[in-house]
A and B are shown apart, each in its own frame.
Chain A
Amino acid sequence: MSPTIATPREHYLNVSYGIKSWLLTTDHKRIALLYLATITLLFFMGGAAAVLMRLELLTPQGDMVQSETYNKLFTIHGVVMIFFFLIPSIPAVLGNFLIPMMIGARDLAFPRLNLASWYLFTIGSVFTLVVVVMGGVDTGWTFYTPFSSTYSNSYVVPTIVGIFVNGFSSILTGLNFIVTIHTMRAPGLTWFRLPLFVWAHYATSMIFILGTPVIAITLSLVALERLFGVGIFDPALGGDPILFQHLFWFYSHPAVYIMVLPAMGVVSELITAFAKKRIFGYGFIAFSSIAIAVIGFFVWGHHMFVSGQSVYASMIFSFMSMLVAIPSAVKVFNWTATLYKGSISYQSPMLYALGFIGLFTIGGLTGLFLASLGLDIHVTDTYFVIAHFHYIMVGGTVMAYLGAIHYWFPKITGRMYPEGWAKFSALVIFIGFNLTFFPQFLLGYLGMPRRYHFYPEEFQVLNVMSSAGASILGVGYVVPLIYLIWSMRYAAPAGPNPWGATGLEWQTSSPPPTHNFEETPVVTQEAYAYGMPEEDIKGGRG
C-alpha cells in the first residue's frame, strides 16, 4: 500500500486490453463494469418511455399518443426498469464488484458462471429491445391473465422469453453470492464482522434463488397458453386467472425487496463512513435484512385485495404486510441513531444516503396505508400506488444506487469525480423526484387511476407539476452520466482510501489489482471500527 496518492502501475483495468479481454473476462470487477454499461443503457431506455408518458400527461386530452401506444409505453417502462434495471442494479454492479473485496477473496466462487450471468442478462435485454423495435407489448409489466394469455395482440411471448432468460441470470448471481459468502471469507472474517452490505446481499440472494424460479415457470405457462391455445389460466377451460396472480406476486412482491435490500446495505455503509461512527445495532440491522427477505414471501396477497381473494386470506396478508414494516423501521431508527453525535460530513454519497432515509420513510409509511384493507380499496390502481412504489424504488433504490456509484467510484476507477457537480446533481435529483411523485399521492387519493393517457381537467395542475418534476429529474440523471464518464479518464487520482473508510475494499489500491489483494487480508476487528486507534485514515485525501 502506498501512502501517497498514486495510481498503481498495474491494476485490473490495464492488465489487458481489447474487446476480447472484456467479453471473455472472468474478473468479477470487469463483469461488474459490463453490467454497469448494460444497465445504464437500459435505464435511459426505460427513462425515455417515462418521458413520453409524462409528456402525454401534460394535458388532460389524449393528444400525443393513442391509448394502445400509451399501454406499450408503461409496459416497456415497467418491464425494463424492474427486470432490467432495478433488480440487477446494485447486486450485479456493486455487489459483483464489492462482495469479493469486502470479504477478502480473490473472486466470486464461480467466475465463469458470473460471466454467463451477464451474457444471459444481455440476451434477455436484447429480446426486450427487439420487442420494442417490433412494436411493443401492452399487458403492463404484470402480464395479468387472461388478457396476456388470450386477448393481447402484442409481442407477449418474446417479452416473456427475455424475462425468463434474465431470471436465470438473477438466479445464478444469487447462487454465486451465497456460495461466495459462505465459503470464501478471509481468515478472521466471522459472520458478525461482515459489512452490512454483504448481509443485505445475502438476504437478497435468498430471494433471488427462492422467488425467481417461480416467476420463470409462471410466465412459461402463460407463453405455452399463448402458443398452443391451451387453457392453463383460461376460465373457459376451467383454468383460473387468479392462480396466475398468486404465482406472479409470489415472486414479484419479494422482488421489491430484491430492489430495496441491497440499497439498505449501501446506506449502512455510507452512513457509517460519513458519520465516522460505528453502526448502531449491527445485529438488528443484519437480521432485519433476513427478516424482510423471509416475511416478504408471505405478503403477496396484498396485491390482490380486490381480485376476489378470500377475505380471510386478505386479513392475513394485510397483517403480514404490516409486519414487514417492523424490520424496515428497525433499520431507519438504527441509521438515525448512528448519525447521533457522529462527525458528519455532507459529501455527495452522504446526501444520497440521507435522501434515501427520508424518501424510503415516506414510501414505507404509505405502504402501510396500502396494506390496510379498507384504505387500499379506495386507492387500488390509482396514482397513490404509483407514488408509493416510486418512493421506494426511485427515491430508495435509485438514490442508494447513485450514492453507491459515487462512493465507490474512486475504488472502481481510481479517480475522484468532481464533488461540486455531484452535490449539485444530488440536490437536483432530490428536488425533481419529490416534485414528480409527491403530486401523484394527491392525484391518487383524489381518484386518478393509473394506466390512462387522459384524465379529467381538475387533475391538470398536479399532473403538470409532476411532468415538470420529471424533466428536472431527467436533468439530474444526465449530469452524473456526463461528469462520471469524464472523470473516468480525466479526473485526479483518488488514492486507495479517499473517504478514510473502514472495510477491506479500501485497504487495497485503487483501482485494485486483478486478484484484489497483494496478500489475503486477516481480519481482526468488526466492520465499522471507526474511531478506533488503528483505524486512522489510511492515506489518501480523507
Chain B
Amino acid sequence: MAEGNGALAEQFDDLAQQHEAASLGMWIFLVTEILFFGGLFAGYTVYRATYPEAFHEASHHLDLLLGGINTAVLITSSLTMALAVHSAQEGRRRALTVFLLLTLVMGAVFLGIKGTEYAHKYEEDLVPGIRFAYSGPHPGQVQLFLIFYFVMTGLHALHLTVGIGLLGVLAYLAWRGHFSPRYYAPVETSGLYWHFVDIVWIFLLPLLYLLGTHR
C-alpha cells in the first residue's frame, strides 16, 4: 500500500492498525513512566509522613514564584501541543510547525527557569552531596527533602529535555510535509508524552513547593 508517503511499516496491514499500535505503545510506555516516578513518590510519601515538620520547613527554601511561573509556562505548552495535534488532524502544515515550535520554546523556557532555581540552591549551599550546609533544625531530614526535590525535578527535567528533542524532530518533519490527516501518529503519541510530563509537574508543584504554604 503506497499511502502516507510510504509511512506504513511492513509488519502492519494498514495505517489504522499502525496508528492503533503506536498509540497503545505510548500509553503503555506512560504506564511504565508512572511506575518509574511512582517509586520516588512512594519514598517521598513515607518520609513526609515520618518527618512532617522537617519537610514543611525545607519546603520554605523553594522559590514559589519561579515554581508558579514554570507551572504556567508548562500548562500553556500543553495547550499549544494539543493545538499542534489538532492542526495535524486538519492537515494544516504551517500551523502544525508553528505550534510544535511554540511548545518547544516553552519547554526550553521551563528548563531555563529550573536551571536558575538550581543555581540559587547552589549559592544557598542547599545541594545535597555537592554543596550542602544547613544550620537550622533537622539538617538530616531537610537534606532528605532536598534530595527528593533534586531527584524528582531532575528526572522531570530529563524527560522534558527528551520531549524537546522529539519536538525538534517533529517540527522539522512537519515542515517537510511528512504528516497528513491520514498519518500523524508520531505527533499524537509525542503529544501524549508531553502531556504526561506536564502532569508529573502538576503533582510535583504541590508536593514540593506548596507544602510549605500549608498551615
User: Which of A176, A180, A184, A214 is B36 in contact with, Cβ under 8 Å?
Assistant: A214
Q: Are A243 and B140 in contact (CB under 8 A)?
A: no
Interface hit among B41-49, B70-78, B160-168: B41-49
User: Which of A107, A184, A210, A221 is B151 in contact with, Cβ under 8 Å?
Assistant: A221
Q: Are B11 and A111 in contact (CB under 8 A)?
A: yes
Interface hit among B25-33, B83-91, B118-126: B25-33
Closest to A240 in B: B46
Closest to B132 in A: A230
| Chain B residues near A218 (CB-CB < 8 A) | 39
Minimum C-beta distance from B17 to chain A (A) = 6
Minimum C-beta distance from A169 to chain B (A) = 13
Interface hit among B141-149, B180-188, B202-210: B141-149
Q: Are A243 and B46 in contact (CB under 8 A)?
A: yes
A106 to B13 CA separation, bound complex (whole angstroms): 10
Q: Report A79-118 CB contacts with B as 1/0, cut-off 8 Å.
A: 0000000000000000000000000011111110000000
User: Which of A209, A211, A212, A520 is B28 in contact with, Cβ under 8 Å?
Assistant: A209
User: Which of A171, A183, A212 is B21 in contact with, Cβ under 8 Å?
Assistant: A183
A221 to B37 CA separation, bound complex (whole angstroms): 12
Q: Are B144 and A183 in contact (CB under 8 A)?
A: no
| Chain B residues near A232 (CB-CB < 8 A) | 43, 144, 147
A65 within 8 A of partner (CB): no
Q: Are A175 and B43 in contact (CB under 8 A)?
A: no
User: Which of B10, B21, B50 is A184 in contact with, Cβ under 8 Å?
Assistant: B21
Minimum C-beta distance from B192 to chain A (A) = 14
Q: Report A203-232 CB contacts with B as 1/0, cut-off 8 Å.
A: 000000111111011100100100111111
Interface centre among A109, A176, A243 (most CB of B within 10 A): A109
B79 within 8 A of partner (CB): no
| Chain B residues near A239 (CB-CB < 8 A) | 47, 144
Closest to B10 in A: A106
User: Which of B21, B39, B151 is A247 in contact with, Cβ under 8 Å?
Assistant: B39
Closest to B129 in A: A228
A182 to B20 CA separation, bound complex (whole angstroms): 9
B177 within 8 A of partner (CB): no
| Chain B residues near A216 (CB-CB < 8 A) | 36, 39
A183 to B31 CA separation, bound complex (whole angstroms): 18
Q: Are B140 and A213 in contact (CB under 8 A)?
A: no
User: Which of B28, B43, B141, B144 is A179 in contact with, Cβ under 8 Å?
Assistant: B28
Q: Report A510-542 CB contacts with B as 1/0, cut-off 8 Å.
A: 000001000010000000000000000000000
B4 within 8 A of partner (CB): no
| Chain B residues near A107 (CB-CB < 8 A) | 10-11
Closest to B42 in A: A247
A379 within 8 A of partner (CB): no
B113 within 8 A of partner (CB): no
Q: Are A213 and B11 in contact (CB under 8 A)?
A: no
Q: Are A240 and B36 in contact (CB under 8 A)?
A: no
Q: Are B35 and A210 in contact (CB under 8 A)?
A: yes
A236 within 8 A of partner (CB): yes
| Chain B residues near A247 (CB-CB < 8 A) | 39, 42-43
Q: Are B51 and A238 in contact (CB under 8 A)?
A: yes
A351 within 8 A of partner (CB): no
B130 within 8 A of partner (CB): yes
Given contacts A109-B11, A239-B144, contact A230 B36 (CB under 8 A): no
Given contacts A171-B32, A213-B33, A232-B147, contact A238 B47 (CB under 8 A): yes
Minimum C-beta distance from B189 to chain A (A) = 12
| Chain A residues near B20 (CB-CB < 8 A) | 183
Given known contacts A221-B151, A228-B128, A232-B43, what 12 new A-B pairs fall within 8 Å (CB)?
Answer: A105-B11, A107-B10, A107-B11, A110-B21, A183-B20, A213-B32, A213-B36, A217-B40, A228-B129, A237-B144, A238-B144, A243-B46
Can you list 21 pairs linking A and B with CB atoms under 8 Å apart? Answer: A109-B25, A110-B25, A175-B29, A183-B21, A210-B32, A212-B32, A213-B36, A214-B38, A216-B36, A217-B36, A224-B129, A224-B151, A228-B129, A230-B128, A231-B144, A232-B144, A232-B147, A238-B51, A238-B140, A238-B141, A247-B42
